[in-house]
Amino acid sequence: MNRPYKILVVDDEPDLEPLMLQRMRRHIRAGRYSFVFARNGLEALDRLNEDGDIDMVLSDINMPQMDGLTLLEQIPKVDPNIRSVIISAYGDMKNIRTAMNRGAFDFVTKPVDFKDLQITIERTLAHMMEWREALSYRDKLVSIQNELEVASRIQQSILPSEFPDDLRYQVYGNMEPARDVGGDFFDIMLLDEGQIGLAIADVSDKGVPAALFMMSCRTLLKGVAIGLTEPGAVLGEVNDLLHEDNETMLFVTVLYAVYNPATGELTYASGGHDPPLLIRSDGSVSLLPLTDGIALGVVPELEYKQHSITLGPGDTVVLYTDGVTEAQNTDGSAFEVDGLHQIFAGSSAYLKAREGTDLVFEKVREFMGEASQFDDITCLTLHRDN
């Protein structure tokens, strides 16, 4: 602090003022302390209100109009961060106890030993500075927390909330974030010739850097997908763009698929992402083969292979992130791919996209019980209508 600490001295004895200024002159000259004076509690309150920059109060107890003990009760109403020290008669334990109970930080006794007083002032000021620092850290934390909440809301708001309305197929996705910002997203893009692009992605790690990485990944993917039709080429392009200047080694696993509603053909490429689940209309469940791609953002100039399947009427494909398969219950065991299989094994051809996604969330939550959620949980379901 550059300005001197401002100390308000409250005493009805007029002698104290010149004495204090004289005994503390070195500290005043050095710019360490400055003093203001009041003759009773009322005057002191006026000074506190008018000056607004008083750091500590040094007050006598017995004074006309308003005594020191009453003043002690009033000070926090002006500023709860001001610290007070009481000057009392030697051995007046009753008043000293009352003063301490009313929030005095310390006391000195009359006749005032100025050397002792100076130590007491320093101790009080040191305590006050620590307190102020703690308060400012708390304020900073609160503001960071607020920013994180904003980031988390942005993350939610970029997810599609409307889904294509088409008689031939349905798509429905949902994402439930864990406590920290960052992580998963999904996207649905309307492409040329009536095709649709479906993306699901999981950024490594959490926090603001991961959230920013996620936002740029999502934007790049959207931009590239509109220009390129082959999923493998899309991932290759996004991978190169993400890799530039990626010193942080953040990476993202992406499954990107293009669906043609006219033919039922689904072509997908995986950049290190979990394989989708295929539920045929007869109730048989299988994992689609991986295309051996590496997560995006780590190694440049990769070629991403793609794979095609044809969805028959009533077939369903479920895309998910590892927040689903790695969800843990209270015993510490994971939901696993088996859990997903079990949800859908034997389910009928009437399973719709929204039902599929909702069912995954319902079953995962049921499995987790009271256990906490460590990762974002995301699921995107495509269903070809009969």
Partner 1 sequence: MDVTSQRTGGALIVSVEGRVDGANARKFQKAVESVIDDDDGAVILDMENLSYISSAGLRSILLIAKGLQKRNSQFAVCSLQDAIGEVFRIVGFDKIVTIHSSQGEAVSAMGS
Q: Which residue among 60, 180, 187, 315 contacts partner 1 (CB under 8 A)?
A: 180
Question: Are 204 and 242 spatial neighbours (Cβ–Cβ below 8 Å)?
Answer: no
The Cα–Cα gap between 299 and 75 comes to 63
| Smallest distance from partner 1 to CB 294, Å | 3
Place of tokens 């990485």: 213
Per CB under 8 A, 237 contacts partner 1: no
Per CB under 8 A, 316 contacts partner 1: no
| Smallest distance from partner 1 to CB 331, Å | 14
In angstroms and rounded to an integer, the radius of gyration of the C-alpha atoms of the chain is: 34
Per CB under 8 A, 68 contacts partner 1: no
Q: Print the binding letters for residues 130-169 with partner 1: x by CB under 8 A, - otherwise.
A: ----------------------------------------
Binding to partner 1, residues 238-257 (CB under 8 A): 249-251, 253
User: Is the CB of 173 or the CB of 293 nearer to partner 1?
Assistant: 293
| Cβ count near 213 (within 10 Å) | 21
| Smallest distance from partner 1 to CB 323, Å | 10
Side-chain-side CA neighbours of 313 within 13 Å: the count stands at 4
| Smallest distance from partner 1 to CB 203, Å | 8
Per CB under 8 A, 272 contacts partner 1: yes
| Smallest distance from partner 1 to CB 336, Å | 9
The Cα–Cα gap between 326 and 119 comes to 59
The DSSP-derived string for 226-295 is HH---HHHHHHHHHHHHHTT-TT---EEEEEEEEETTTTEEEEEEEBPPPPEEE-TTS-EEEPPP--BPP
Per CB under 8 A, 184 contacts partner 1: no
Catalog residues that contact partner 1 under the rule CB under 8 A.
180, 202-206, 249-251, 253, 271-275, 290, 292-295, 298-299, 322, 326, 374-375
